[in-house]
Amino acid sequence: MDLEMLMLAVSRNELSGPIPSMLPPNMWILLLNNNLFSGNIPSSLGKLSQLVLLNLANNNLIGVIPVSLAECSYLLGLNLGNNSLQGSLPHEFSKLGELYSLVVHSNNLNGSLPSSISNCSKLQVLNIGNNSFEGEIPTSLKNLSKLRVLVMKKNNFIVSNTPYQEGLDMNLKGTLEHYKYIFSTLTSIDLSHNELEGEIDPNLGKLKGLRLLNLSMNNLKGTIPNSLAEMNQLESLDLSRNHFSGQIPIEIAFLNFWGSLNLSNNNLLGSIPQGQHITNTFGESSFSRNPNLWGCPLPKKCSWPQFVAPPSPTSINQGKKSIGYPWYKISMGLLYGVAFGGLISLIMIKISWRRKYFNKVDTILKFLFPWMKNWTL
C-alpha cells in the first residue's frame, strides 16, 4: 500500500477553497489545519473508515459537524477548533470508542453537551471552550475515568454546583475510591466564562495531580477552601471575577509550585498570607479589587497603620489586625483622674475648703436657675 495514500499533511500553509470530497478511502491521517479552507466539512469524510487523526482546526469552515464522522470508528484525535461551525455536537459521537482527544473550541456550537459523550471511555482531552453550549454539565462525565484535560470556558453552562463535586464523592462504604471517578485523573480544569453558581467543594483538594484550575468569570461564592493547598502540583489558579468572600487561607503561603495566581475582583477580606513565595512571585494584580483585603503585595496597604501591630503567625489566618494600646491617651486619662480625685479628697477632708466649695456651687446654681433661690446646699 502506497504511503502517500495513507497520510495527507498540508498544515500551516495558505491553501484555500473547499475541502476535497474525494479522498482515498484507506487514508489514516488527514492534517489540513492552519490554512484558509472554507465551506462545509464534507460528509464524505465519514467514509474514511481507517482514519485515525483528523485535524481541520484554524480554517474558515462553516456549517454543522457532519454526523457521518461518527462512522470513523478508529478515530483517535479529532480537532475542529477555531472555525465558524454551528449547530450541536452530534450525539452519535458516542460511537467513537477509541477517541483520545476531542477539540471543538472557538466555534459557534450551541445546545447541550450530550451526556452520551461519556461513552467515549478512552477520552483524555475534551475542549469545548469558546462556544455557546448551555444547560447543565452532565454528571455522566464522571465515567470518563481517563480524562486529563477538561476545558469548558466561555459557554453558557448553568449549574447549582460545580461539576467536580459529583466526581469527588469518593467515600464508598467507608472506603476512599480515588480512581473510580473522572476528576481524580484530571491535570487541567478550565470552566471560566460560564454561569456556574454555588461554592467550591472542599474535596477539590483531592485532585493531587491537578496543574491548572481556572474557575474565573462565574458566579461562584463562599470561601476559598484551605484544602486547595493539598494540590501540591498546582501551577496555575484563577478564581478571579467571582463572589468569593472571607479570608485567603494561610496554607497557600506554603505552596511553592504556583507560577500563576489570580484572586482579583472578589470580596475577599483580611490579611494576605505572607510567605516568601507569595511575596516574591505575585504582584498587586493577583489580589486587586478586593476592597477589604490588605497587606503586601498591595502597595497602599504595605505600611501598618499607627497603633496597629502586625499580625502574629497564629492570628494571620484570622485576617484581623491586632490593635495596639494607645498609651499616650491612657496616661493622660490617668493623670486627669488622679488630679481630680486628689482635689475632691482635699475638699472632703478640710472643712473650710468644703464650705467655700459648696457656697460657690450654691451661688452659681442660683444665678443660672433663679427658681432655686430658696434652695441651699
What pLDDT does 302 receive?
A: 58
C-alpha distances in Å from residue 74, one per residue of 69, 79, 80, 127: 11, 15, 17, 20
Residue 338: helix, strand or coil by DSSP? helix
CB 63 within 8 A of CB 85: yes
Amino acid letter, residue 156: N
CB neighbours of 167 closer than 8 A, spacing ≥ 6? 141, 142, 181, 182, 183, 184
What pLDDT does 182 receive?
A: 42
H or E segment to which residue 212 belongs: strand 212-214
Query: Cis ω on the peptide bond leading into residue 297 (within 30° of 0)?
Result: yes
The CATH H-level (homologous superfamily) assignment of domain 3-323 is Ribonuclease Inhibitor (3.80.10.10)
* Average predicted confidence (pLDDT) for the chain: 76
Q: From CA 363, how far away is CA 40, in angstroms rounded?
A: 107
Closest C-alpha among 260, 317, 262, 256 to residue 287: 262
Mean pLDDT of 243-271: 86
Q: Which residues pair with 262 in a beta bridge?
A: 238
What pLDDT does 342 receive?
A: 55
CB 66 within 8 A of CB 45: yes
What pLDDT does 312 receive?
A: 43
Residue 25: helix, strand or coil by DSSP? coil
Eight-class DSSP state of 99: -
Angle at 104 between CA 59 and CA 154, to 5 degrees: 110
Least confident stretch, 62-66, 143-147, 234-238, 352-356? 352-356
Burial of 175 (C-beta count, 10 Å sphere; 0-12/13-18/19+): exposed
Q: Read off the pTM.
A: 0.64
Q: Which residues pair with 18 in a beta bridge?
A: 38
